[in-house]
Amino acid sequence: MTESAGARHGGAPGARGRTVIADVVVQKIAGMAARDVRGVHALGSGFARSMGSVRERVPGAGGGGRATRGVGVEVGEKQAAIDLEIVVDYGVSITDVAGEVRENVIAAVERMAGRDVVEVNIMVSDVKLPDEEDEGEERQRIR
């Protein structure tokens, strides 16, 4: 009787070993997916954004701050829970934007990280008014 190659080596190649996905990977996926939704101006509170812009200018202060700002995750072997803090553009339907963000984040995390997303909690911390300048932006002085 001949053995199949899969049985001889303990099963299918995809089932041999373990894949670990760091929390920061899921944070970045969720952050990018949330930013892709029309009506999302930024992630994180105004204070977090201004501190992040200062931190990004410091050499060696660590990368990925912008990608993970406003995103919190709990990642297990099979599931993930995600908390987002967003700033929306004035004039958009906040409930519609939140729904689209939730759908986009769930789809991206489940597709890319292979984790079942059990919840996506969204806190809208601000509304970006058309005449407001972003915190951390330098004003241009044209005369």
Please provide the CATH number assigned to the domain covering 20-123.
3.30.70.1350
Q: Can you tell me the distance from the alpha carbon of 135 to that of 34, in angstroms, rounded to the nearest whole number?
A: 20
Q: What is the pLDDT of residue 133?
A: 74
Predicted local confidence at residue 139, as pLDDT:
44
According to the model, what pLDDT value does residue 141 have?
A: 42
Q: What pLDDT sits at residue 19? A: 86
Give the three-state DSSP class for 128. strand
Low-confidence ranges of the chain (pLDDT < 70): 1-10, 46-65, 134-143
pLDDT at res. 10: 67
In angstroms, the CA 98 to CA 108 distance is: 15
Q: How far apart are CA 43 and CA 35, in angstroms?
A: 7
Which pLDDT score, from 0 to 100, does residue 8 have?
Answer: 60
Distances (CA, A) of 36 to 17, 41, 104, 110, 118: 34, 10, 8, 16, 21
Residue 13's pLDDT is what?
79
User: At what angle are helices 94-113 and 23-35 packed, to 10 degrees?
Assistant: 140
Q: For the chain, which residues make up each domain, given as ranges?
A: 20-123
Q: How far apart are CA 34 and CA 32, in angstroms?
A: 5
Q: Dump pLDDT digits (tens) for 39-76.
A: 999 999 864 444 444 444 445 555 556 779 999 999 99
What is the per-residue pLDDT for 98?
Answer: 98
**∠ CA(48), CA(53), CA(58), 5° rounding?**
120
